[in-house]
Amino acid sequence: MINCKNLCTLKAFDVPEEKLEAAREVKADGVEVEISEKYGDYTFAVINYSADEVSFNGVVIELKRVLGGSLYSEDGETLEEVVVKELKENGKTFSVAESFTGGLISARTVNVGGASSVFYEGLVTYGSSAKIRRLHVKVQTIEKYGVVSEEVVREMAQGLLANRITDYAISTTGCAGPDSDEYDTPVGLCYVAIADAEGILVIEMLIDGDRKYIREFATNCALFTFIGVIRGETAVGQTIKRNIHTR
Tens of pLDDT, residues 84-100: 999 999 999 999 999 99
CA-based nearest residue to 63, from 107, 19, 118, 16: 19
Question: How confident is residue 243, by pLDDT bands cut at 50, 70 and 90?
Answer: confident
Do both 188 and 66 map to the same domain?
Answer: no
Domain boundary among 18, 43, 73: 73
CA–CA dist 102, 111 (Å, integer) = 16
Task: List, as one string, the DSSP characters of 106-146.
Answer: HHHHHTSTTGGGTEEEEEE--SHHHHHHHH---HHHHHHH-
Whether residue 1 is contained in a domain is answered as no
Q: Does 46 lie in the same domain as 17?
A: yes
E-strand ranges in 40-83 read: 41-48, 71-73
Q: What is the DSSP string of 169-203?
A: EEEEEE--SSS--TT-PPTTEEEEEEEETTEEEEE
- Residue 51's CATH number: 3.30.70.60
Q: Which domain holds residue 175?
A: 79-245
Mean pLDDT across the chain:
95
- pLDDT at residue 163 in the model: 86
pLDDT over 80 (residue 245): no
Average pLDDT over residues 54-64: 97
68: which residues sit within 8 A by CB, 6+ positions away?
A: 19
Quick: pLDDT tens for 214-223.
999 999 999 9
- What pLDDT is recorded for position 14? 92
Instruction: Say if 132 falls within a structural domain.
Output: yes
Q: So what's the pLDDT on residue 244? A: 83
Pair 110, 218 in one domain: yes
Q: Do residue 143 and residue 223 come from a single domain? A: yes
Q: Is the pLDDT of residue 199 over 90?
A: yes
Q: Note the pLDDT of residue 1.
A: 53
For residues 111 and 119, what is the distance between their CA atoms, to the nearest angstrom? 11
Distance CA 216, CA 205 (A): 13
pLDDT at 232 over 80: yes
Residues 230 and 164 in one domain: yes
In this model, does residue 246 exceed pLDDT 90? no
Q: What's the confidence (pLDDT) of residue 247?
A: 60
Beta bridge partners of 25: none
Q: Which of 14, 43, 73 is the last residue of a domain?
A: 73
Which of 17, 43, 73 is the endpoint of a domain? 73
pLDDT higher than threshold 60 for residue 105: yes
Domain count, the chain: 2
Residue 87 sits in a domain whose CATH number is 3.90.950.20
Do 110 and 47 share a structural domain? Answer: no
pLDDT bucket at 227, cuts 50 / 70 / 90: very high
- Same domain, residue pair 51 and 162: no
- Residue 242 has what pLDDT? 87
**In terms of DSSP bridges, do strands 189-196 and 168-174 run parallel, antiparallel, or are they unpaired?**
antiparallel
Name beta bridge partners: 31: 28, 48
Report which of 150, 142, 238 is spatially closest to residue 192, judged by C-alpha positions: 150
Does the residue 214 lie in any domain?
yes
Look at residues 61, 37, 45 and name the one whose alpha carbon lies nearest to residue 4.
Answer: 45
**Residue 3 has what pLDDT?**
74
Above 90 in pLDDT, residue 116? yes
Contacts of 129 (CB under 8 A, 6+ apart): none
Burial (0-12, 13-18, 19+ Cβ within 10 Å), 63 = buried
pLDDT tens, residue by residue, 1-48: 567 789 999 999 999 999 999 999 999 999 999 999 999 999 999 999
Residues 85 and 65 placed together within one structural domain of the fold: no
Shared domain check, 65 and 83: no
Same domain, 85 and 35: no
Residues 172, 234, single domain; the answer is yes
**88 & 204 share domain:** yes
Rounded Cα gap, residues 43 and 20, in angstroms: 11
